[in-house]
Chain A
Amino acid sequence: MNGLLTKFLLKNPSVLVFLGALALFTAFVSVGSEAFGWGFISTSFVKTLGKTLCFCLIAIAMDLVWGYCGILSLGHFAFFGLGGYMLGMWLMYARTEIIVQTAMSNEVIPPTDQEVIDAIGTQIFGVVGGSDFPMIWAFAHLFWVQLALVVLVPGILALVFGWLAFRSRVTGVYLSILTQAMTLALSLYLFQNDSGLRGNNGLSGLQNLPGLDDVSQDIVSMWFFWASAFALGLSYLLVKLITESKLGNIVRGIRDDEARVRFLGYNVEGYKLFVFVLTAIIAGIAGALYYPQAGIINPAEIAPIASIYLAVWVAIGGRGRIYGAVIGAAFVSLLSTWFTGGQAPDIPLGIYTIKWVDWWLVLLGLSFVIVTLYFPKGIGGLFDRLVRKGDA
């Protein structure tokens, strides 16, 4: 196995380059962080970078499913959100439990188990006018179960949805619209107060790890940054292994001519389902890593537009080359943070001042049109051109 991996890495030096670059970047952020280094990178920026890595992670998944398999899914952010919700449930439950127990420990008569659970329920569901735990919170107190659900819930949803969709040969734009409808349905469902996930309040306070209140956010942010970097590196390797294998060739074949691959005797639906479910799982993991860094998750994050932005990142980065997705996600999301954060200088034009907070989306939308029209290979395509010139 070890030999095989070495052989693979020797054959694909770009993977090593990427992993090396990621390791360097991680080390740089570590020495720059407030927790473990000189502190020239603020904790909030570490969080931004960590979140960006999660976006890169889901972008890899998107590239695999769209760039390699040709399925333009407009629903992967739903899987991302579900992953976040699953871990968020445990974070919120466990932390509230500690708070409630601390508060109750002062009472003369020790509380019964039911009283503790009722108090937690009131704390969590008070905002939506309830106090009872819905069924879906049955395992919220068990960390390992919720961790498994991070993978299982998006995975099973993708399996059921994908099986239904691929089985009836829904392809192309129809599939895109269908995935978008799925996302819309999910976010509308979560917007209800009686969805059991606190309606549009979502889950909050996720940045505080239960039982680790004395560990400062400086350190927690680095933990999540490392975890995100590790997950990104591992997923990159995994996805590369898939795309460079025979499986990857079949998947690309499906993208280019589905009917022909089917006529060659391959079970096209099976391959598509495999890719769809795998990428949904990666998206779920990315979400579970992202939301503790963001601190809050609500249904608005799952709205169909988020999934379309995901497609935008991958398209700008360049489809069909995994590093392109990473570059696109990092580039666009960081730029977006910069512009919408009010850090970009306004441009006074005499009678009208261009405020980037207002005009950034216009710029993004138009640049998106330009990229689609004139640079269909995205930023990654520029790299290709450079590399080819180097070869010559």
Chain B
Amino acid sequence: MLRVLTLFLGLLLAVPAFAQSSLYDALAEQTAGLKKPSSKTIETVISSLQDSGAPGVADFLTKLQSKEVWYRKSDDKFFFVATDDKKTYRLIDIQSGEVVAEVAKKEIKQIKPNSGVRAKIDGALVAFRLTDADPAVRDAALVGISRDPKAKDLAPLSAALASETDPDLKARMERLSRVLTVSFGDTTEARVAAIASFDGDLGLDARAVLNPLVTTTLKAAPEVGAGENVAKTLRLGNDISEEDAFDLLVASGLAQAEPTKGDIKAALKANIIGDTVGGMNVANLGTDEARLAAHMALAASGAVPAILTSEDKAALLASAAYYEVYAEADPAVTAAAVEALSSISTAVGVSQFIDLVLDGISLASIYFLAAIGLAITFGVMRVINMAHGEFIMMGAYTGYVVQQIIPNYTVSLIVAIPAAFVITFAAGVAMERLVIRHLYHRPLETLLATFGISIALQQIAKNIFGTQARPLTSPGWLDGALVFNDVIAISWIRIAIFVLAVIFFLGLLFVLNRTRLGLETRAVTQNPRMAAAMGINPDRINMLTFGLGSGIAGIAGIAIGLFAKVTSELGSDYIVQSFMTVVVGGVGNIFGTLAGATMIGFLQKGIEWFNPSNTLAAQTYMIIFIIIFIQFRPRGIIALKGRAAGD
């Protein structure tokens, strides 16, 4: 028993003693080099410490670098030192971090590595962090290097690459080492090879490292300097205008700046004598020619510097060579970079096109959602409902109100969708019963009456919810985006809207073509009297159909509210586009609406692509295009034919 206890105690003592001795031993071997570090000797010190594999070496080196390591004169032991009053100094154990003693300053000495040594330590530290046992530290080191790449990071990175075990980190290290090789590789061949490895690569880091290689500066000099990596020589008058060339000459100090019109005016103003300047009456100086003449007269008298004559200017311009020069001196590298960038730009173009298509699809599904309710009320029933947009708005506000009651966004969304449907369905039925029913034979007046309802509803919403936008927050799982690469990304909300649009499309197709309600709806819209004679109640069908269209608008409102702010004008922003979608697609069928939404969505994104800063212009041109399109297909993309067309 006693032996067991002694053994246990012995173990307790032995374990820390062993660990401690490790770092201490490692340091003790290099005491001389550490006490007076020089940039020549520090490398052997560091590598010996590194080889010892002792824990805490990286920490020790960090502290050494920041001049926090001292040694005790009596026994040459190293400590971290802290002080509050500069009188008593606390010695901190380099391993445990505990205060072991308090001493006066004369007993200890600070190690002050110079900048050369510190740089060496810095390089070594990178290697330490990159090979640290903790993956999080290695990750942080990689991020640090990629944020601020330096030439000295390359060697430790290559070394660490060999021993890295985590496949994800290894891939990143490998990529980062290629990025660094592009800028800092030792040989031209290595750099060219690294550059070539980025052919067609979509990463932002690749473009960030390659682009500076091919940036050029415009230069004017009597002749092209030796060793300059010229990208292009510019011919005066063809590649560079005389004005720009002259500005370049001025900038490179080869010519004096010409006075601008403003300068001439100021010079004249400064030299007015009585009411003349340069022998000309001030009142006559209302033209540029007169001012120039006066300035020349002043120059002749020496009051102002002369302006170059056009011959002098031409001679001056001809005397210099104009060329673009690469910042990178090695022609082989720049040639490889140009090639790699051109292949990258092709790949980026392809990706951007795919991204554009995705954007188009997502916009199309938004338009489709906004218009699908109309496709039923306007498209199938031929009732023009200007208040459709307000049903969308009502749906969005329903979502907002439900969120105020149920704080959990996911649950509230699940509750809000049927709630919005029920509320707008009821509103639609009420509107059909009270107003539209009386106006089936007067379509233009339906437009006006529903417009009256639209402004009333909009104002009521404004009175209740105020004019400021209300947020409809999407649940957490819809945050963020699905990222394919650095160019292609699509937010989850948009994917959800796309899915919703598909569900609506299929659902409505099913309802209209495969259910009793759909059959009766189609019968009533084609021939109400005949339908009535067959025992269908047209009033009831019209009411239900209108309610269905309105209810769908309500659900669309929630979808739209998720990415746009909910305001009382939410609906009216979409109403014209919705009608366009239905009309362009072809009135009377769901496929038409799909085609219309697709066309309008893609068209708008396509036009925006040419002029990305200006969505207003894109909308304008799109509408003009639609107006022209309707000239050629007045009945839309998918026109109903025969009896189904109705008229």
Interface residues of A (CB under 8 A from B): 72, 108-114, 161, 164-165, 167-170, 172-174, 176-178, 180-182, 184-186, 188-189, 191-192, 194, 304-305, 308, 311-312, 315, 358-359, 361-362, 364-369, 372-373, 376
Query: Can you list 17 residue pairs at the A/B interface with Cβ under 8 Å?
Result: A108-B282, A109-B268, A110-B282, A110-B286, A113-B287, A170-B630, A172-B444, A173-B444, A178-B583, A185-B624, A189-B617, A192-B617, A365-B457, A367-B452, A368-B448, A372-B448, A373-B438
Residues A185 and B620 in contact, CB atoms below 8 Å apart: yes
* List of B residues within 8 angstroms of A192 by Cβ: 614, 616-617, 620
B603 shortest CB reach to chain A, Å: 13
B439 within 8 A of A: yes
Contacts of A376 in B (CB 8 A): 442, 445
CB–CB B454/A365 < 8 A: yes
Stretch from B1-9, B146-154, B459-467 forming part of the interface with A = B459-467
Answer yes or no: B358 CB below 8 A from chain A CBs: no
A109 touches B269 (CB 8 A): yes
Find out whether the CB atom of A185 lies under 8 angstroms from the CB atom of B448.
Answer: no
Complex contacts, A185 vs chain B, CB 8 Å:
619-620, 623-624, 627
Task: Check B544 for interface membership: any CB of A closer than 8 A.
Answer: no
Given A168-B634, A361-B458, does the pair A180, B576 have CB atoms closer than 8 Å? yes
How near does chain A come to B574, taking the closest CB pair, in angstroms?
12
B630 contacts which of A112, A178, A180, A362 (Cβ < 8 Å)? Answer: A178
| Docked-complex contact A364 and B452, CB < 8 angstroms | yes
Is residue B408 within 8 Å, beta carbon to beta carbon, of the partner chain?
A: no
- Most interface-central of B287, B462, B626, B634 (chain A CB within 10 A): B634
- Can you name 15 extra interface pairs (CB under 8 A) apart from A185-B620, A312-B452? A108-B269, A109-B269, A161-B627, A172-B444, A177-B580, A178-B583, A180-B576, A180-B579, A181-B579, A185-B623, A188-B623, A189-B616, A365-B459, A368-B451, A372-B448
Q: Which of A111, A180, A368 contacts B286 (CB 8 A)?
A: A111
Distance in angstroms between the alpha carbons of A192 and B621 in the assembled complex: 13
Question: What 1/0 flags go to B619-647 for Cβ under 8 Å of A?
Answer: 11001101110111010000000000000
Q: How many A-B residue pairs lie within 8 Å, measured between CB atoms?
A: 154
Bound Cα distance A205, B534 (Å)? 67
Contact of A362 with B460 in the complex, beta carbons under 8 Å = yes
Interface centre among A108, A172, A194, by most B CB within 10 Å?
Answer: A108
- Does the CB pair B631–A358 fall under 8 Å? no
Most buried by B among A72, A167, A173, A367: A173
Residues of B within 8 A of A358 (CB): 459, 462-463
Find out whether the CB atom of B448 lies under 8 angstroms from the CB atom of A312: yes
Most buried by B among A178, A304, A361, A372: A372
B273 CB, nearest partner CB in chain A, Å: 12
Asked whether B456 lies within 8 Å of A109 as measured between CB atoms, the reply is no
Within 8 Å CB of A312, what residues of B?
A: 448, 451-452
C-alpha gap A112/B284 in the complex (Å): 10
Contact in complex: A188, B448 (CB < 8 Å): no
Contact B456 A181 (CB under 8 A): no
Q: How far is the CB of A279 from chain B (nearest CB, A)?
A: 17
Which 10 residue pairs across A and B have the least CB separation, nearest first?
Answer: A365-B456, A368-B452, A185-B623, A361-B459, A110-B286, A372-B449, A365-B455, A365-B452, A189-B620, A369-B452
State whether the Cβ of B511 lies closer than 8 Å to any Cβ in chain A. Answer: no
> Of B265, B269, B288, B451, which is in contact with the most chain A CB atoms at under 10 Å from its CB?
B451
Residue of A nearest to B635 (CB): A174
Contact A110 B285 (CB under 8 A): yes
Q: Cα distance A182–B626 when bound, in Å?
A: 10
Query: Shortest beta-carbon distance, B578 to chain A, in Å?
Result: 10
Task: Tell me the smallest distance from the CB of B443 to a CB of chain A, in Å.
Answer: 5
A364–B455 CB distance below 8 A: yes
**A304 contacts B576, C-beta separation under 8 Å:** yes
Q: Is the CB of B439 within 8 A of A373?
A: yes
Task: Return A341 CB to nearest CB of chain B, in Å.
Answer: 16
A312 to chain B, nearest CB (A): 7
Q: Is the CB of B447 within 8 A of A72?
A: yes
- B599 in contact (CB, < 8 A): no
Whether B459 contacts A362 by the Cβ 8 Å rule is yes
- How distant is A325 from chain B, measured CB to nearest CB, in Å? 14
CB of B453 within 8 Å of the partner chain: yes
Q: Which residues of B contact A189 (CB under 8 A)?
A: 616-617, 620
B:403-432 near A, CB below 8 Å: none
Does A191 contact B616, Cβ atoms closer than 8 Å? Answer: yes
In the bound complex, do residue B445 and residue A164 qualify as a contact, i.e. CB atoms below 8 Å apart? no
Contact of A173 among B272, B288, B447, B454 (CB under 8 A): B447
B435 at the interface (CB under 8 A from A): yes
Interface centre among A178, A182, A359, A365 (most CB of B within 10 A): A365
Contact between chains at B447 and A176 (CB < 8 Å) = yes
- Beyond A112-B286, A184-B576, A359-B463, whether A369 also contacts B623 by CB under 8 A is no
Q: Which residues does chain A contribute within 8 Å of B288, judged by CB atoms?
A: 112, 114
Q: Once the chains bind, are A372 and B576 in contact (CB under 8 Å)?
A: no
B208 at the interface (CB under 8 A from A): no
**How distant is the Cα of A273 from the Cα of B369 in the complex, in angstroms?**
36
Q: Are A372 and B445 in contact (CB under 8 A)?
A: yes
- Within the complex, the shortest CB–CB distance from A328 to chain B, in Å, comes to 12
Q: Which of A184, A194, A361 contacts B456 (CB 8 A)?
A: A361
Across the interface, B579 reaches (CB within 8 A) one of A164, A177, A182, namely A177
Q: B384: CB under 8 A from chain A?
A: yes
In the complex, which residue of chain B has the Cβ closest to the Cβ of A299? B616
Q: Give chain A residues whose Cβ lies under 8 Å from the Cβ of B617.
A: 189, 192
Known: A109-B282, A112-B287. A181 touches B576 (CB 8 A): yes
Cβ distance B387 to chain A, nearest Cβ, rounded Å: 9
Chain A residue nearest to B576 in the complex (CB): A184
Q: A164-B628, A168-B634 are in contact. Are A359 and B459 (CB under 8 A)?
A: yes
B283: which of A110, A173, A186, A191 is its contact (CB, 8 Å)? A110
